[in-house]
Amino acid sequence: MLNEKSILVTGGTGSFGKQFIKRILSDYPEIERVVVFSRDELKQFEMAQEFPEEKYKQIRYFIGDVRDRERLIRAMEGIDIVIHAAALKQVPAAEYNPFECIKTNVMGAQNVIDACLNTAVKRVVALSTDKAAAPINLYGATKLCSDKLFVAANNMKGKRDLKLSVVRYGNVMGSRGSVVPFFLNKRHGGVLPITDERMTRFNISLDEGVEMVLRALDIMWGGEIYVPKIPSYRITDVAMAVGPDCRHEIVGIRPGEKLHEDMITETDAISTVECQNYFVILPSMKLWDVEEFMSTFDGCMCPPNFSYNSGTNTEWLDVEQLRELTRLHVDPEFTV
């Protein structure tokens, strides 16, 4: 699918971007070009030590910000596929600096779309978040806007050979700012801060996130939001897995946080197709035949009143599974 293609990853030095690029360089040796597009020259320098251009002839490092439309257009010259992973995603920072978040997550998303419309890009997958479903914080609201922009862009592509879709998933284990590395750092002090004992979250690994994006690239029709079926965890089980002897200090929910996260609301479910390992939220504007889509992917419409919520999920990670995943995805030397 990617051999002899050129691909650009916005936010290419982030947790997902690095893992995605590592995967495609390994699995697609005949890929034409891989452009790492990000704004932090230090992270690009550090990434270049791991993926030097001398060894990986396909890789290019572009300094740029998704707020800069002209730079995006220049970077996308000759690009076939775009993965949009750049975002401001820290919830408290977005609440304190709202318009900065809007400029990157909403206006930046539109800049990516405009750049794709002005070049020969053929496929675009934008990364979303469970916080975009029924958002209560600014970060989630901006990502919902971004999702709507990428879906609606399929209406304005004209006769271009261009498809744009979205992949939405939950908390990534081991990513920057996530709870497991935070608890690993805190456990040596004997106290783990717990926001609320009832709190639950969806869980996905970086590899699983990369796999979902690659699948979307392979099967996308344009305008869908792909949601993988993934397990949930209880925050108290994460604390027990990482620091079984630690005392729990209840600190309260931070501004903009939920007790449980949604990936598909009851309203979304009305236009959501369930497939074997994932759901597909259909575009609100009809872009193609839904019956044909369901037949192609052996899917069926979700039942009435369905929702996909981390607190009512049917699949859960227990303490031992969380410990194994911590060793696998965060710290290979982790012990309790």
Which domain CATH number covers 37? 3.40.50.720
Can you tell me whether residue 53 is helix, strand or coil? coil
Which tens digits make up the pLDDT trace of 141-193? 999 999 999 999 999 999 999 999 999 998 999 787 789 999 999 999 999 99
The pLDDT value recorded for residue 144 is: 98
Residue 336: pLDDT band with limits 50, 70, 90 = confident
The pLDDT value recorded for residue 53 is: 87
Which tens digits make up the pLDDT trace of 21-66? 999 999 998 999 999 999 999 999 999 999 998 999 999 999 999 9
Q: Is residue 334 part of a domain?
A: no
Q: Is residue 335 part of a domain?
A: no
Nearest to 187 by CA among 14, 32, 9, 335: 335
The pLDDT value recorded for residue 56 is: 94
Consecutive H or E run containing 332: none
Q: Which of left, alpha, beta for 145 (phi over 0: left; psi -120 to 50: alpha)? A: alpha
Question: Torsions phi, psi of 185, nearest 5?
Answer: -75, -35
Instruction: Tell me: pLDDT of 84 over 90.
Output: yes
The pLDDT value recorded for residue 138 is: 95
Consecutive H or E run containing 255: none
**Rounded CA Rg of the chain:** 20
Q: Is residue 60 part of a domain?
A: yes
Range of the domain at 308: 6-329
The pLDDT value recorded for residue 156 is: 92
The pLDDT value recorded for residue 254 is: 81
Mean pLDDT score, 272-287: 95
The pLDDT value recorded for residue 266 is: 95
What is the sign of the dihedral through the CA atoms of 118, 123, 127 and 131? positive
Separation between Cα atoms, residue 64 and residue 80, nearest integer Å = 19
Burial 100-117 (b: 16+ CB within 10 A, else e): ebbbbbbbbbbbbbebbb
Active site residues: 131
DSSP 260-286: S-EEE-HHHHTTEEE-SSEEEEPPSS-
Cα 230 to Cα 42, 130, 167, 323: the distances in Å are: 34, 12, 13, 17
Q: Is residue 1 part of a domain?
A: no
Q: Is residue 143 part of a domain?
A: yes
Residue 324: pLDDT band with limits 50, 70, 90 = very high
Instruction: Tell me: pLDDT of 125 over 90.
Output: yes
Q: Is residue 101 part of a domain?
A: yes
Mean pLDDT score, 273-299: 96
Mean pLDDT score, 7-34: 95
Q: Is residue 249 part of a domain?
A: yes
Mean pLDDT score, 278-290: 95
Both structure tokens of 67: 């707020």
* Number of domains composing the chain: 1
